[in-house]
Homo-oligomer: A and B are copies of this chain.
Amino acid sequence: MNREIHLVKRPEGTPDHEHLSIVESNQPQPAEGEVLLKTLYVSVDPYMRGRMSDAKSYIAPFQLNEPISGGAVAEVVDSNNQDFQAGDIVTGALPWQEYSTANGESVRKVDPKLGPVTTSLGILGMPGLTAYFGLTDIGSPKQGETLVVSGAAGAVGSTVVQIGKILGCRVIGIAGTDEKTSYLTDTLGADAAINYKTENVREAVKQACPDGVDIYFDNVGGEIADAIYPRLNKFARIVQCGAISSYNVQNDQGPRIQGYLIKSSALIKGFVVADYQDRYKEGFEHLSKWLQEGKLTYEETVKEGFENIPDAFFGLFKGENLGKQLVKVAEPSN
- Chain A positions near chain B (C-beta within 8 angstroms): 50, 56-58, 218, 221-222, 225, 234-235, 240-243, 246-247, 251-272, 275
Contacts and interface: CB of A to CB of B under 8 A. Distances in A.
B58 A263 contact: yes
A312 B57 CA distance: 44
A243 B258 contact: yes
The copy count of this chain in the complex is 2
Given A261-B268, A263-B56, A264-B270, A246 B240 contact: no
Contacts of A252: 255-256
Contacts of A257: 257
A256 B57 contact: no
Contacts of A251: 255
A240 B243 CA distance: 21
Q: What 9 A-B pairs are tightest by C-beta distance, nearest first?
A: A261-B270, A243-B258, A262-B270, A221-B258, A267-B269, A252-B256, A57-B263, A268-B268, A254-B256
Contacts of A254: 253-254, 256
Given A241-B262, A268-B268, 13 more contacts: A57-B263, A58-B263, A58-B265, A218-B258, A243-B256, A243-B258, A246-B259, A254-B256, A258-B270, A261-B270, A262-B271, A264-B270, A265-B271
B275 A265 contact: yes
A82 to B, nearest CB: 37
Contacts of A253: 253-256
